[in-house]
Amino acid sequence: MKIKSENKLPSGNIFRTDLNKPSKALVSDKYRLIGKPDYLLNVNGGIIPVEFKTSRDGKIKEGHILQLASYCLLIEECYKQKVDYGILDYNGDKYEIPFTDELKNELLNVMFNIRNEGEQPTRNHENYGKCLNCSYNFGCPSSLLIKENRKV
């Protein structure tokens, strides 16, 4: 997989961010996928997801690439636009990750395998307020809102 290091973000408008205040999640019923990238940039009419990560070892993590790929897939579904690449920002070091057919297929295979393992992610708290204010509460099978038969 070709990875290109950059020193700065491409020129464009940030039209969606999850850093300063929580934004609504991007949702794909087709892929049963929900996600919230840190930034969405509008660059020359195209949409580029940007994800900020902290890493002390200077290595790009495969899981981070797949997370970024999931945002590319969500953008294609939600905005009906092809995504050429996304950006991973590790403490100011930026890497363009091409969203190729190969990466998309790898992501779909990983999603398929996770779903077929039979394990669902679980909530790590017993705080109703966290579930109430969580932007994923409508799709979370372990939400306390469902457990207590409460609807938002």
Poorest-confidence range of 37-51, 65-79, 90-104, 135-149?
A: 135-149
> Kind of pairing, strands 93-98 and 85-90?
antiparallel
Mention every residue, 6+ apart, whose C-beta is less than 8 A from residue 31: 73, 74, 77, 108, 111
Going by pLDDT thresholds of 50, 70 and 90, the confidence category of residue 136 is: low
What CA–CA distance (Å, rounded) separates 123 from 39? 25
pTM of the shown model = 0.72
Q: Please state the φ and ψ torsions of residue 70, each to the nearest 5 degrees.
A: -65, -35
Average pLDDT, the chain: 81
E strands along 18-150, which residues? 26-28, 33-35, 39-43, 46-53, 85-90, 93-98
DSSP summary character for residue 81: -
Mention every residue, 6+ apart, whose C-beta is less than 8 A from residue 54: 90, 91
